[in-house]
Amino acid sequence: MNNATAINHGIVDTSDTVYTVPDIACMFGRKECTIRKRIEKGLIPAHKIGRCWYILKSELVAGLRDT
């Protein structure tokens, strides 16, 4: 996890924490393949840049609140 610049729909937000699939897998005690499947099903909000998925903390928290 890091505080890299998060890009969301063309808007740059430097205050949001950016997680990777391994970060989320470690946080929730799941396998990386499970996290990727949930992202692909739309259960975890994420942004794909190249071959990597990135999850914004603000979107993850909002998604968890909705469930």
Q: DSSP code of 2?
A: B
Rounded to two decimals, the pTM is 0.76
Query: Which 3 state secondary structure label does DSSP give 34?
Result: helix
Closest CA to 54 of 28, 31, 27, 21: 21
Q: Where are the domains of the chain?
A: 18-66
Give the contacts of 53 (CB within 8 A, at least 6 positions apart).
20, 21, 36, 39, 46, 47
pLDDT value of residue 21: 98
pLDDT value of residue 65: 81
pLDDT value of residue 52: 95
* Higher local confidence (pLDDT), 9 or 66: 66
Q: Which helix (H) or strand (E) holds 18?
A: strand 18-20
pLDDT value of residue 66: 76
- Taking all residues of the chain, what is their mean pLDDT, rounded to a whole number? 85
* Higher local confidence (pLDDT), 8 or 44: 44
